[in-house]
Amino acid sequence: MRYLVTGAAGFIGARFVEAARRGGAELISVDAKVAGVFENRLEHRGLDFGETLDIDELEPFLEAGRAGDLTAVVHLGACTDTMELDERVHERLNFSYSKALWRWCARHGVPLVYASSAATYGDGRAGYEDDDTAIAHLAPLNPYGWSKQHFDRWALEREREREVPPSWVGLKFFNVYGFGERHKGRMASTILQATDQIARTGRMTLFKSHRDGVADGHQRRDFVYVDDVVEVLAFAASGGIRRGLLNLGTGVARTFADLARATFLALGRDPHVVFIDMPVELRERYQYFTEAKVARLRAAGYTKPFTSLEVGVRRYVDRLRSDQSLAPRRAHQADDDTLAPSGSRK
């Protein structure tokens, strides 16, 4: 096996690299080579990325025919900041870059697996079905979600025009959490931010609900453990899925109150949650409910069970605590210890 992985130094990318290396795969790892991302992040210690490229080196590398025979391109690189409102950033990194990779894979007969997002579902009013016919009706809440939506629709259009890789899969990631996300700062999962906050103050803060009928802490998300995400990526990249846009979540929405209890339990602390007002500027762009419909993923042949929230949080916290340099500490949070928002993103 030989994979080209974009976003390889990121959260999910590095975990995919880690698993692929255990399986004996050769790798070409692509990311923005700023601040030594392959070498200097603590989570990457001892991780062999194979041949590494900066994102600006990728296109000439591919056009020169230097990639060799690839099992698949696993395209995880993107701007994943749901708070970034400059559409030009998302257009360049999430749309134009993805189109170029698609076209190269189509020309050279290389399978493509890429990261879409549950952010495409917006407030969920159109449902969470990943059927092709449902895609056109989705209305994301932010430029990040729209960039993913635009590429999903573009991919379906290329299929109708028969300009496609031999197989292609776009996976709509729901709320992914797990080891290796500390560098994401405010965009890291609520679990990491809460772990740091609890270790420092003995409590955690959550946003109040500003929607009638939803109690504080009962906003619900589909939290999916990163090891499960990597398993699905590997399954798709090895040819297990032929084509299409598929949800990647557990299929079970859990409350933020559930998440809080699981985190306190993993840390051996008594629960102490404080609810705070959600910033006004976030209220119209906040997802109160996400839940993956996974019937198509199951029908495609992926049958492994997903990790429960309680087990995933325990494994995550244990891995953080096993290494003092990665243990719970002060993260990128405001001085008032407010947790940053956690949206549907990779």
Q: In angstroms, how far is CA 62 from the centroid of its own chain?
A: 25
Task: Give the chain's end-to-end CA distance (angstroms, integer).
Answer: 24
238 burial (CB, 10 Å; 0-12 / 13-18 / 19+) is middle
Identify whether the C-beta of residue 123 lies closer than 8 Å to the C-beta of residue 141.
Answer: yes
Residue whose entry in the numeric block shows the structure tokens 């993956």: 292
Q: Cα–Cα distance between 248 and 115 in angstroms, integer?
A: 10
The residue type at 160: R
Instruction: List the structure tokens of 140.
Output: 């994301």
Closest of 208, 233, 214 to residue 297, by C-alpha:
233
Which DSSP string do the residues of 93-132 spell out, in sequence order?
Answer: IIIIHHHHHHHHHHHHT--EEEEEEGGGGTTSTT-S---H
Instruction: List the structure tokens of 18.
Output: 């880690």
Identify whether the C-beta of residue 84 lies closer than 8 Å to the C-beta of residue 90.
Answer: yes
Q: Cα–Cα distance between 207 and 184 in angstroms, integer?
A: 20
Sign of CA pseudo-dihedral 20, 227, 252, 206: negative
- Active site (catalytic) residues: 144, 184
Residues 6+ apart with CB under 8 A from 175: 118, 189, 221, 222, 223, 224, 249, 290, 342, 343, 344, 345
For residue 165, give the H/E element and its range.
none
Max intra-chain CA distance, the chain: 59
φ, ψ of residue 251 to 5 degrees: the values are 90, 5
Identify whether the C-beta of residue 260 lies closer than 8 Å to the C-beta of residue 217.
Answer: yes
